[in-house]
Structure 1
Amino acid sequence: MSLHIHNVTFDCADARALGTFWGELLGWNVYYDDDPEVVVAASFPSSGLGLLFIPVPEGKAAKNRQHLDLSPDEGTRDEWVERALGLGATTVGDHRTPEGTGWVTLADPEGNEFCIERGAAETGPRPSRAFRITT
């Protein structure tokens, strides 16, 4: 038996605005109807991972306990950081080094943190980190 991750869900104030930010950043499609929830996915119906935005009345109260680490398929980390900032993200922490390694921690327009790391074009292929846990 196994499970797969269907959606990563974000509580938010404005699902359409936040979904639009993430759709633009990732180059994914934004889906909504009369329901207040918004899905962002590469395709719909999505057979892969999607982002689900659900409006809630309370605001973000603390630092995220989880976040997304993004790595470019094309272009450089720095180009994607500039793109995210242009879409409305803010810089939380810049962990780039003079040698070119590191990442940038950003926050989306509602304060949800995410990191942009270097991609394979800058680092070369990464070794697999696949683990299988059995009981």
Structure 2
Amino acid sequence: MILRHVTVDCADPYELAKFWSAVTGWPVSDDDAPGDSEVLVEAPPSVPGMLFIQVPEGKTVKNRIHFDWMPTERTRDEEVERVIALGAKLYEDHRTAEGLGWVTLLDPEGNEFCVERSTAERGL
């Protein structure tokens, strides 16, 4: 079995896909356009894509599943600043004085996701 997509229910699939495209650097599918009820962010081979599907109801409770992102080209703190500049909002800050921890952010529709320390920061 192969995990093909991670699907996110949302109000505006194209706008949310553009946000996640900017965060990940992965392209929005050429087949998708503003106003579409389903929009795909195409991931690199062997990584599931992100499929955004329009639903009538808004988000009302904490996500039951969320993304944990580990930056590859920046530090955790640099990535947090970059993603906030793209439109995310700070939700919970779990960073410690010793440099450990993570940051929980909200995407433009209020979905939680985390940014952890980079591989370099972990000494890997």
2:122 corresponding residue in structure 1: 123
CA distance in 2: counterparts of 1:73 and 1:84, whole angstroms:
14
CA distance in 1: counterparts of 2:82 and 2:14, whole angstroms:
19
Aligned residues: 121
5+ residue gaps in structure 2?
none
Instruction: Tell me which of 8, 13, 24 is aligned to 2:22.
Output: 24
Q: How far 1:62 sits from its partner (Å)?
A: 0.5
Deviations 1:57-90 (A, max 9, x none): 1000110011000001111001110011001111
Q: How far 1:47 sits from its partner (Å)?
A: 4.9
Larger Rg: 1 or 2? 1
1:130 corresponding residue in structure 2: none
Q: Note if contact 1:11-1:54 (Cα within 8 Å) is conserved in structure 2.
A: yes
Are residues 1:36 and 2:70 paired?
no
Q: How far 1:48 sits from its partner (Å)?
A: 3.0
CA distance in 2: counterparts of 1:10 and 1:42, whole angstroms:
15
The share of aligned pairs that are identical, in percent, is: 56
Supply the AA of the counterpart residue of 1:84: V
Normalised TM-score (structure 1): 0.85
CA distance in 2: counterparts of 1:109 and 1:35, whole angstroms:
18
Q: How far 1:35 sits from its partner (Å)?
A: 4.3
CA distance in 1: counterparts of 2:86 and 2:77, whole angstroms:
14
SS for the counterpart of 2:85 is: helix
RMSD: 1.4
